Amino acid sequence: MNPTEAKQCILNANTALGIELGSTRIKAVLVAAADGSPLATGGHDWENRYADGVWTYRLSDIYEGLSASYASLLADVRKKYGMGLKNIGSIGVSAMMHGYMAFDKDGQLLTPFRTWRNTSTGEAALFLTELFNYNIPQRWSIAHLYQAILNQEAHVKDIDYITTLAAFVHWRLTGEKVIGVGDASGMFPIIAGTSAYAPQMVEKFDRLISDRAYPWKLRDIMPKTLLAGEAAGKLTAEGARLLDPSGVLVPGMALCAPEGDAGTGMVATNSVEKRTGNVSAGTSVFAMIVLEEELKKVYHEIDMVTTPDGSLVAMAHCNNCSSDLNAWVKLFAEFADMLDATLTPDALFELLYKKALEADTDTGGMLAYNYFSGEHITGFSEGRPLFVRKADGDFNLANFMRTHLFSSISALKIGLDILIKDEGVKVECIYGHGGLFKTAGVAQAFLAAALGVPVAVMESAGEGGAWGIALLAAYTRTKKADESLADFLTERIFVGEKGGQVLPDAEYAKSFEIFIERYKEGLAIERAAVENLKI
């Protein structure tokens, strides 16, 4: 779309806006509603904080971040098209899945927002998994709620509403307490193919806590679930001012159901159909595989969630991915600055990542754990970033970088082996997106080798989850009668695009197998670090 066409598209409000609150960045993307073409982008960096034993963001962080990301988008619109932004066709909000936000009847937050990163709900998660015969990970909202009950936290009796970050922001923009089914499936189990919370499990939970005499039932305090394409409310005057304090943005525009970052990742990579999957790799890393049938058994390592249109998905989620890797690259950047080297961050990442392609098959005997926080797949409630090497190993830059890149996907590999090797789940291709794949052909090649599955990275997925939720907003507004989400994506957005596909490489596969065995054997080293290096 040329600039003249794009400007006319904006003037006519034939647009969709997607905002995603990620772990380290809030991103806004404005797209053409007809084909999803990105028209403008904006963003705002933010960070979670560890306060009183909880990984959290303050409400002020959320509100300020929303308006800052929208302001950044406006600046891009003005720069590209010489105009402001008054009307938008439709809007969608996405955010990190899971976690716990609890509010009283006056809409006041009862306890600091507990993000997905917290691993303090082990007792509750284990008990509920056994009660439901359904895996309930520590990140899930229901695990946080039940752990608060077990801990006899005073706020529980005052709960009127619990929700996720995306659904909270949507509530503030529209006044509607609703949630997309994909995000909801990270709060509480959903019946596959529907948008309904599993009723038998809801009843079991209510019976479980009946002796507590709380003045609420579970279904009454959770948001209403919606499938992709269903109306989810309109922007209120208060919501418009929250996004645009200048008052230029007008209220009244439609919003799609709020979704989690897992769902928007599936949309952004056109992987909502069976036998497709995607890996989102940034601060955390997770893989979503759309299933043809239920798994044979319950696995603590595998979440069962849904696509935004309700299809069953197996999810392997790891809390840690690129944070430790980024910290090492930052160290190299400091050294480059000392030498007055004129390297952009992207150029430095590319140099270091591509150096990893030259590593020895055994990576010089090096070992790394990227555990900034706990990692449930390997059994850790806390983590310590750790690098270890043998005295006689070949300690060079190529081996060092491959070690850290391998480490970033090792916990994921352990989880996905359950699906691919143990359950025999068929996957034709995995689509990668997120910062880890920004340097073409490196992490992509290593992941393909680790999983034994082709991995593709689509150029059109470069805007990530913010683009994905913008597409869901466009779908909600423009979908034709009986047009499925898969048809909308394939026939109107991606139009035959397959992405640059990399096949598993035998040498990299052998290298990863050597590394992953060392990784498993060395978990005792990481455990000793957690036990002896206090934070």
Instruction: For the chain, give every domain's residue range.
Output: 271-457+505-535
pLDDT at 462: 53
pLDDT in tens, 113-172: 999 888 899 999 999 999 999 999 999 999 999 999 999 999 999 999 999 999 999 999
Torsion, CA 23, CA 106, CA 142, CA 127, rounded to 10: 130
* Pairwise CA distance, residues 161 & 448, whole Å: 42
pLDDT at position 460 is 57
Q: What pLDDT does residue 203 have? A: 98
Which stretches within 82-211 are classed as H helix?
A: 122-132, 141-150, 165-174, 181-184, 199-208
pLDDT surpasses 90 at 194: no
Residue 488 has pLDDT above 80, yes or no: yes
Question: Hey, what amino acid is at 430?
Answer: I
What is the spatial distance between Cα 145 and Cα 182, in angstroms, rounded to a whole number? 19
Mean pLDDT score of the chain, rounded to an integer? 94
Q: What is the pLDDT of residue 498?
A: 60
- Alpha-carbon distances, residue 387 vs 114, 190, 367, 390, 529 (angstroms): 29, 40, 6, 11, 11
Among 27-31, 141-145, 431-435, where is mean pLDDT lowest?
A: 431-435
Q: What is the pLDDT of residue 192?
A: 84
Residue 27: alpha-carbon gap to chain centroid: 13
The pLDDT value recorded for residue 455 is 93
Rounded CA gap, 180 and 184, in Å?
6
Neighbours of 239 (CB within 10 A): 24
pLDDT of 104 reads 98
Confidence of residue 103 (pLDDT cuts 50, 70, 90): very high
Sort residue 441 into left (φ over 0), alpha (ψ -120 to 50) or beta.
Answer: left
What is the third-level CATH fold of 271-457+505-535?
A: Nucleotidyltransferase; domain 5 (3.30.420)
DSSP H or E segment with residue 45: strand 38-45
Strands 386-388 and 285-290 turn out to be: unpaired
Global pTM? 0.84
Q: d(Cα 284, Cα 430) in Å, to the nearest integer?
A: 17
